[in-house]
């Protein structure tokens, strides 16, 4: 563990990065004069280097891509999608996992065995493989990516919540609530579950960065967000064969991706040290 | 230290459990890919084909029968050890897998070894020098690499070591190939072919190992730091044990079981993670086989690849369970 003030400093920095980024991805496409999707005079505008002004007088902070679209505005628009997919995907997966874990722990018996067998079976495929198989199910796009992240991501949280609940179930205050006449449902949702959510909250926070990486990976392979709608993954894919001529096209979205995932990881780490107090942690998927 | 083997009945029970789980995984995968709209027939016919042509191919592949019949066919064939014939590659699935698997396993095994050989010492140095400048620099480095997608790192290294090295006139030894397993059109044999392969493998293995080692170092740092703050370490120091003895005999022995489990669990993730590195470097491994098969709706290949991945995960879990008692005396029943 780093000393507490140092840790507060890093997590404060991570929070600032995320807030600035969130403001940027919301505001920049709104106020920018440039349309990040419109393709104009390709020959005159394409692949302008960063910090340059084009013949129309527009300033391009990060240059332009192969179709002459402003890279900075596109990157911010892509950030909207990547951040939204990461947060929604991770949060929904945790929600499904929490409900599944709670049902398994509380009802026991066949429900418990069935849900845990399903979780074990889905965990027996590496998440990337399961993700690819599921991504082929529907037409690639925003909704598909979120659904696939939820389908492949609920098992870890379900196990965490189940294990915590089984521990909480034996505590005296649960007995007390039951003795006072609270229904089994009320005891679960009002008394037991809120006290079993700590590890799940940490897992969700750490899961945001992972989900953003998975989305970028799917989009890089062409199975996620589809152009012309930008995402950091498909922007990197688009800059792949320009890496010699115009390296900034692939470098800029990659740096944005790293900064975002880094900030999410640091926040998750800080939260884990505060809430769970456990050592180590799970490894992210190797996107 | 006397090594005690795990009870055979326990092993057998776990093995049976693993096989049942494997069957469940494959059944779920079968159901998942058949839910997908569109099937292989539409991808196999030329654009000029009529509906009758599509129907004929569907009939040839058995896709017109009910899903239950198809499942039964597939399951019976699998019990005979027959993975079927690929729709798009015109060869048995087992042969396609046999060509692709060594590539991914080789890539994964080399990267896994490097991941731990680099990651654990880094984590240990960080834990021992906690809070000092070395720890802070390594923390920044590992956290940044941990946050970076491997396909982006791959592009960055290709830009520097393939194109950059050529543009800056660096010696040929530093210029690394960015595509494939061997130099195209080369007719190399023996050691020359070996060196050629190694040159092609440097960038992919470096990237997979770097991303893995960053994660392992983060894990090792925090678990070793936890152990270092415990009473038995203070006692060992108080009794005059040398730092080397404290770190290796007391600390490393305590975190070793966790690292062994991590090692076993990392293999499938690494083999799956090579999907992206294979995509960037055009390596003919499992990842590329699987992605191409999914896009072409080549069901038999997808099922075969899923079976291999699931078997890897289950074997890794089993290996972790079986090896754990050997490194952790508390786990010997």
Give Cα separations from A197 to A14, A91, A94, A281 (angstroms): 23, 13, 10, 17
What does the pLDDT read at residue A169? 87
Q: C-alpha distances in angstroms, A108 versus A101, A104, A165, A224? A: 10, 5, 11, 37
* Confidence class for position B3, pLDDT limits 50, 70, 90: low
Structure tokens at A36: 């990040």
8 Å CB contact between B204 and B283: yes
The SS3 assignment for B298 reads coil
Residue A19 confidence (pLDDT): 92
Do the Cβ atoms of A125 and B131 come within 8 Å?
A: no
Q: pLDDT tens track of chain A, all 287 residues? A: 445 566 678 888 888 989 999 898 888 888 877 777 777 777 777 777 787 777 777 777 778 887 778 888 889 999 999 999 999 999 999 999 999 999 999 998 999 999 999 998 888 888 888 888 888 777 788 888 999 899 999 998 999 999 999 988 889 998 899 899 888 889 998 889 988 888 888 888 888 999 999 999 999 988 888 888 899 999 999 888 888 888 888 899 999 999 999 999 888 888 877 775 543 345 567 67
Contact B215 A117 (CB under 8 A): no
- The answer, for B210 touching chain A at a CB cutoff of 8 Å, is no
> Three-class SS string for chain A?
CCCHHHHHHHHHHHHHHHHHHHHHHHHHHHHCCCCCCCCCCHHHHCCCCCCEECCCCCEECCCECCCCCEHHHHHHHHHHHHHHHHHHHHHHHHHHHHHHHHHHHHHCHHHHHHHHHHHHHHHCCCHHHHHHHHHCCCCCCHHHHHHHHHHHHHHHHHHHHHHHHHHHCCCHHHHHHHHCCCCHHHHHHHHHHHHHCHHHHHHHHHHHHHHHHHHHHHHHCCCCCCCCCCCHHHHHHHCHHHCCCCCHHHHHHHHHHHHHHHHHHHHHHHHHHHHCCCCCCCCCCCC
Q: CB neighbours of A143 closer than 8 A, spacing ≥ 6?
A: none
* Mean pLDDT score of chain B: 85
Question: A220 vs B279: CB contact, 8 Å cut-off?
Answer: yes
What pLDDT sits at residue A3?
A: 53
Label residue B76 exposed, middle or buried (CB < 10 Å: 0-12, 13-18, 19+).
exposed
Strand partners, B23: none
pLDDT at A93: 95
Residue among B40, B137, B147 with most chain A CBs within 10 A, to mutate: B147
Please indicate whether, in this complex, the C-beta atoms of A243 and B159 are within 8 angstroms of each other: yes
User: Beta partners for A70?
Assistant: A64
* Structure tokens that stand for B289 in this block: 């086989």
Q: Which residue has the higher pLDDT, A252 or B185?
A: A252
pLDDT digits (tens, 9 = 90+) for B193-247: 888 888 888 999 999 999 899 989 988 998 898 898 889 999 998 998 888 888 8
Share of chain B above pLDDT 90, in %: 21
Identify the pLDDT of residue A97: 95
CA-nearest residue to B297 within chain A is A136
Nearest to B24 among A121, A139, A244 (CB): A121
A121 vs B contacts (CB less than 8 Å): 21, 24-25, 28
Q: How far apart are CA A84 and CA A153, in angstroms?
A: 16
Terminal Cα distance for chain B, rounded: 16
- Alpha-carbon gap, residue A156 to A50, rounded angstroms: 42
- Say yes or no to pLDDT of B312 above 60: yes
Report the residue of chain A nearest B132, measured CA to CA: A2
Least confident of A45-54, A113-122, B14-23, B78-87: A45-54
- For residues B165 and B245, give the distance between their C-alpha atoms in angstroms, rounded to a whole number: 45
Token output for B204: 């992919």
> Is the Cα dihedral B83, B85, B88, B94 positive or negative?
positive
What is the distance between the alpha carbons of residues B256 and B262, in angstroms, rounded to a whole number?
Answer: 10
Residue A161 pLDDT: 92
In this prediction the ipTM stands at: 0.85
Q: What pLDDT does B4 receive? A: 56
> Which of A2, A116, A127, A133 would you mutate first to test chain B, the one with the most B CBs within 10 A?
A133
- What is residue B92's DSSP assignment? B
Indicate the burial class of A169 (C-beta count within 10 angstroms; 0-12, 13-18, 19 or more): middle
Which of A213, A216, A243 shows the shortest C-beta gap to B158? Answer: A243
Cα B233 to Cα A1, A126, B124, B130, B237, distances in angstroms: 17, 37, 15, 16, 6
Element holding B166 (H helix, E strand):
helix B165-167
Residue B6 in this model has a pLDDT that exceeds 70: no
* pLDDT the model gives residue A214: 92
Query: Is the minimum CB–CB distance between B276 and chain A shorter than 8 Å?
Result: yes
Least confident window among A179-193, B3-17, B146-160, B274-288: B3-17
Q: Residue A131 has which token pair?
A: 């993700």
Whose CA is closest to B131, among A5, A267, A283, A266? Answer: A5
Which DSSP state fits B239?
Answer: T
| pLDDT value for A86 | 92
């Amino acid at each position: 563990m780093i000393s507490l003030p140092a840790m507060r400093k890093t997590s404060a920095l991570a929070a600032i990065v995320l807030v600035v980024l969130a403001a940027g991805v919301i505001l920049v496409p709104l106020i920018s004069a440039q349309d990040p999707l419109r393709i104009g005079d390709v020959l005159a505008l394409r692949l302008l280097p960063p910090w340059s002004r084009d013949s129309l007088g527009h300033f391009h902070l990060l240059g332009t891509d192969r179709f002459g679209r402003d890279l900075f505005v596109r990157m911010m628009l892509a950030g909207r999608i990547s951040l939204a997919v990461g947060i929604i995907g991770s949060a929904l997966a945790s929600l499904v996992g929490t409900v599944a874990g709670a049902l398994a722990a509380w009802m026991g018996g066949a429900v418990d065995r069935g849900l845990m067998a399903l979780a074990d079976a889905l965990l027996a495929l590496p998440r990337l493989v399961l993700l690819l198989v599921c991504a082929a199910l529907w037409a690639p796009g925003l909704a598909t990516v979120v659904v696939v992240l939820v389908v492949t991501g609920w098992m870890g949280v379900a196990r965490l919540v189940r294990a915590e609940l089984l521990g909480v179930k034996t505590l005296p205050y649960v007995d007390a609530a039951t003795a006072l006449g609270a229904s089994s449902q009320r005891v679960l949702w009002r008394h037991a579950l809120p006290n079993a959510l700590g590890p799940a909250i940490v897992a969700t926070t750490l899961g945001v960065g992972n989900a953003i990486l998975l989305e970028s990976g799917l989009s890089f392979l062409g199975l996620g967000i589809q152009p012309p709608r930008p995402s950091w993954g498909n922007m990197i894919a688009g800059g792949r064969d320009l890496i010699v001529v115009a390296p900034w096209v692939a470098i800029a979205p990659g740096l944005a991706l790293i900064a975002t995932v880094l900030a999410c990881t640091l926040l998750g780490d800080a939260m884990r040290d505060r809430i769970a107090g456990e050592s180590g942690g799970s490894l992210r998927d190797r996107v | 230290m006397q090594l005690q083997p795990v009870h055979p009945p326990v092993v057998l029970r776990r093995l049976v459990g693993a096989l049942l789980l494997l069957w469940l995984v494959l059944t779920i995968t079968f159901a998942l890919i058949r839910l997908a709209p569109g099937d292989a027939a539409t991808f196999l016919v030329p654009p000029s084909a009529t509906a009758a042509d599509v129907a004929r191919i569907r009939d040839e592949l058995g896709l017109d029968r009910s899903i239950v019949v198809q499942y039964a066919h597939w399951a019976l064939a699998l019990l005979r050890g027959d993975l079927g014939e690929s729709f798009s590659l015109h060869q048995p699935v087992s042969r396609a897998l046999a060509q692709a698997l060594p590539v991914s396993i080789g890539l994964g095994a080399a990267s896994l070894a490097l991941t731990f050989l680099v990651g654990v010492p880094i984590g240990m140095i960080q834990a021992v020098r906690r809070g000092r400048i070395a720890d802070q620099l390594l923390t920044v480095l590992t956290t940044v690499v941990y946050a970076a997608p491997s396909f982006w790192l791959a592009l960055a290294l290709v830009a520097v070591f393939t194109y950059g090295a050529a543009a800056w006139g660096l010696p040929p030894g530093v210029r690394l190939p960015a595509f494939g397993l061997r130099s195209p059109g080369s007719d190399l044999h023996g050691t020359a072919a070996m060196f050629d392969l190694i040159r092609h493998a440097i960038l992919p293995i470096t990237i997979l190992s770097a991303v893995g080692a960053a994660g392992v170092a983060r894990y090792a740092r925090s678990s070793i730091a936890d152990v270092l703050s415990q009473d038995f370490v203070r006692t060992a120091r108080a009794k005059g044990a040398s730092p080397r003895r404290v770190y290796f005999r007391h600390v490393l022995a305590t975190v070793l079981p966790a690292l062994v489990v991590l090692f076993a669990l990392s293999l499938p993730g690494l083999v799956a993670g090579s999907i992206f590195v294979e995509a960037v470097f055009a390596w003919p491994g499992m990842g590329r086989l699987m992605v191409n098969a999914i896009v072409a709706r080549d069901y038999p290949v997808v099922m075969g690849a899923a079976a291999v991945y699931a078997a890897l995960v289950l074997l890794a879990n089993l290996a972790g369970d079986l090896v754990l008692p050997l490194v952790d005396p508390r786990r010997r029943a």
